[in-house]
Amino acid sequence: MPREESAADWTLLPAEDAKAFREFRETIDRRLDEYIPAGEPAALLQFPYDGNVGNHMMWVATTDYLRRRGVPLTYVAHGNNFDVETLRRAVGRGSVLFLGGVTVSRLWPRHAEIKQLVASALPDNRLISLPATMLFVDSADGEGAGELFGAHRNVTLMARDPRSEREARGVFPEHIDIVTIPDMALRLGPQPRRRPPEFDVIWLARDDIEGVGNRPPENVFVFDWPHLRQIPRAYYALRASGVFSRARGSVPALPYRRFVAPSMARLYRLASREVLSFGNRVLDRGKVLVTDRMHPHIHAALRGQHVVLLPDKFGKNRAVFDAFTHRLTRVHWVDTPGEALALARELAASV
């Protein structure tokens, strides 16, 4: 299982990269401290009920931060068990946090729908959308996003790169606070390799709406993230959390806060750490990773592993690379799969 934050061994990384990651963490924590009150209860929404390791990197990093800040989670939910009335009862006057990612576009509509529901139902709570890419498919998508929070007067949108901040300022009304803060995954600690590599090059290729349709070469190990059922400890932790999820609507407020909410938060964190551990095992299989997914290039760099990063369809990868991860010595940008394979083979030969 990945190491807890307190046990981070920065000597596992090149000195320049360790310095950069420590600075990313310090920046993230300092900026979040401006918006998230220490010790006050909060809700954390949009748990990633999937096998996408990058989403779970954000959840682990976010809950690491909240633990450090002394913020008790009185409500957690994923897209299918979210209930706005239960949220209202559980969080009281506390803050409502939304997990980062790509969460204000019709690309992933359930995320936007939940934000809209919360803004309407909790007009007096502080709403904070954690660092995300603000990308919009077209002008209609941007106009719809601009209406997500309605007239709510206490909303902070955190963009994970300056380009996203500019895009957001172009569509959201002036009463929405918009700031740039690095992606939450950049505050994770080093992720040590546990096994020697089997392949020189491994290739993580996305095949969803954010992919550009490039085909990886046939002579490398190609993979994508699995279904949760392929990560048994994570899957069964979430099945167990379902017992609490089904019960919480009828549990009185005090027992809920003392037992049910902390139990669900622990099970979600356990599941996310198991998915992250699975991701480490897969990345162990190669000397060099090639990917067009954003979070895996951060993951590989946290392992001191060379990674070749390709473009995605909407420019998300390039925006984060230009703003932050270009500083990392093991991260390499290329524009085409052919360039990626050639560079990956060259890097593998040098390892």
Given phi > 0 = left and psi -120 to 50 = alpha, else beta, which region is 213? Answer: left
pLDDT of residue 216: 87
The predicted pLDDT at position 214 comes to 80
Question: How high is the pLDDT of residue 4?
Answer: 45
| Residue 223 CB-half CA count within 13 A | 19
pLDDT bracket for residue 256 (50, 70, 90): low
H or E, element range at 265: helix 261-283
- What are the tens digits of pLDDT across the range 267-322? 999 999 999 999 999 999 999 999 999 999 999 999 999 999 999 988 999 999 99
Residue 106: the pLDDT is 67
Mean pLDDT across 86-100: 94
**Contact of 316 with 54, CB cutoff 8 Å:** no
Instruction: State residue 136's pLDDT score.
Output: 76
Question: 123: which 2 tokens?
Answer: 């007009």
Tell me how far apart the alpha carbons of residues 282 and 276 are, in angstroms, rounded to a whole number.
10
Given 3-state DSSP classes, what are the helix, strand and coil percentages for the chain, each rounded to the nearest 5? 50, 15, 35
Confidence of residue 253 (pLDDT cuts 50, 70, 90): low
Q: How confident is the model at residue 8 (pLDDT cuts 50, 70, 90)?
A: confident
Is the confidence at residue 7, as pLDDT, over 80? no
Percent of the chain with pLDDT over 90: 75
Q: Which contacts of 224-230 are long-range, i.e. CB under 8 A and separated by 24 or more positions?
A: 225/50, 225/51, 225/52, 225/53, 225/279, 226/51, 226/278, 227/50, 227/51, 228/49, 228/50, 228/51, 228/275, 230/51, 230/278
Provide the greatest CA pair distance for the chain.
61
Domain ranges of the chain: 5-187+232-237+249-260, 199-228+277-350
**What pLDDT is stored for residue 215 in this prediction?**
82
Give residue 1's pLDDT band: very low, low, confident or very high (50, 70, 90). very low
Q: Phi, psi (5° rounding) for residue 218?
A: -85, -15
Query: Residue 260: what pLDDT?
Result: 85
Query: What pLDDT is recorded for position 142?
Result: 73
H or E stretch including 241? helix 232-247
Are 201 and 75 contacting, i.e. CB atoms less than 8 angstroms apart? no
Burial of 136 (0-12, 13-18, 19+ CB in 10 A): buried
pLDDT tens per residue, range 135-187:
777 777 777 778 888 889 999 999 999 999 999 999 899 999 999 999 999 99
pLDDT at 339 over 70: yes
pLDDT at 2 over 50: no
Q: Which two tokens stand for residue 90?
A: 């559980």
pTM above 0.85, yes or no: yes
Residue 23, Cβ density class (10 Å: 0-12 exposed, 13-18 middle, ≥19 buried): middle
On average, the pLDDT of the chain sits at 91
Question: What fold characterizes domain 5-187+232-237+249-260?
Answer: Rossmann fold (3.40.50)
**Residue 251: which pLDDT band, with cuts at 50, 70 and 90?**
low
